[in-house]
Amino acid sequence: MKHGKAIIGIGLCALIFFLFLDAGKAQAATFYGRVIAIEGNALHVKGSDGKVSLFWVGYKTQFKPRVPFFGDRVKIEYVKDNLRRRAVTHLTILGR
């Protein structure tokens, strides 16, 4: 117990460092495309360049004006979550 305060101080400094290191990761990105498949909580969206991307929809996702169907053009705003998935935050339907 001779070095207890020093250990606690180093632990708090490390905790603060990792909190600031993790704070910069949640930057929202935008993706435009057409829904080609829906599997449970996952959306497969094909972009204008032909690339198919997978997005995860959760309980915090905001749908405007409704949930998408196959063939809908969508605008997706997403962040990378702790599991490095593309987690959808806002999903807007642009039309057919």
Query: Going residue by residue through the chain (96 aa), what tens digit of pLDDT does each one get?
Result: 577 777 888 887 777 777 676 555 567 889 999 999 999 899 999 998 999 999 999 888 899 888 898 899 999 999 988 888 899 999 999 987
Please state, in angstroms and rounded to a whole number, the distance separating the CA atoms of residues 20 and 86. Answer: 21
User: Whole-model pTM?
Assistant: 0.69
Q: What is the CATH number of the domain that holds 62?
A: 2.40.50.140
Instruction: Establish if 37 belongs to a structural domain.
Output: yes
Instruction: Establish if 14 belongs to a structural domain.
Output: no
Instruction: Establish if 72 belongs to a structural domain.
Output: yes
Instruction: Establish if 2 belongs to a structural domain.
Output: no
Instruction: Establish if 63 belongs to a structural domain.
Output: yes
Please state, in angstroms and rounded to a whole number, the distance separating the CA atoms of residues 79 and 64. Answer: 18
| Domain residue limits at 40 | 29-95
Number of structural domains found in the chain: 1
Burial class (CB in 10 A: 0-12, 13-18, 19+), 15: exposed
Instruction: Establish if 22 belongs to a structural domain.
Output: no
Asked if 64 contacts 77 with a C-beta cutoff of 8 angstroms, the reply is no
